[in-house]
Amino acid sequence: MKAKKQKSQLAIRQGEDPIEHLRRVRAAILERFDNDVYKYGAYLREKEKEHQDRLVDVEKLRKLGIISTKKIP
């Protein structure tokens, strides 16, 4: 049994107006770009949160005297 060939989402459809095709392609590209930007923004927010958590942990260790901020000559 042959697998059904998937049609490209960006291919021009038979009898489709070229202007409508370009609008549809542009919308598909922008949607994918927006999704990528959103995912990257979420990734950056997560990294920033991890960084802030580490800073809080270091500050707690300083207050407890476990680590020192004094420079060793």
pLDDT of the residue at 65: 82
Indicate whether 5 belongs to any domain. Answer: no
Indicate whether 12 belongs to any domain. Answer: no
pLDDT of the residue at 48: 93
pLDDT of the residue at 72: 66
pLDDT of the residue at 46: 93
Q: What is the pTM of this model?
A: 0.49
Number of independent structural domains in the chain: 1
Indicate whether 72 belongs to any domain. Answer: no
pLDDT at 10 over 70: yes
Distance between CA atoms of 43 and 31, rounded to whole angstroms? Answer: 18
Indicate whether 3 belongs to any domain. Answer: no
The 3 state secondary structure assigned to 2-43 is CCCCCCCCCCCCCCCCHHHHHHHHHHHHHHHHHHHHHHHHHH
pLDDT tens string 11-47: 878 888 888 888 988 888 888 888 898 899 899 999 9
Structural domain of 49 = 17-65
Indicate whether 44 belongs to any domain. Answer: yes
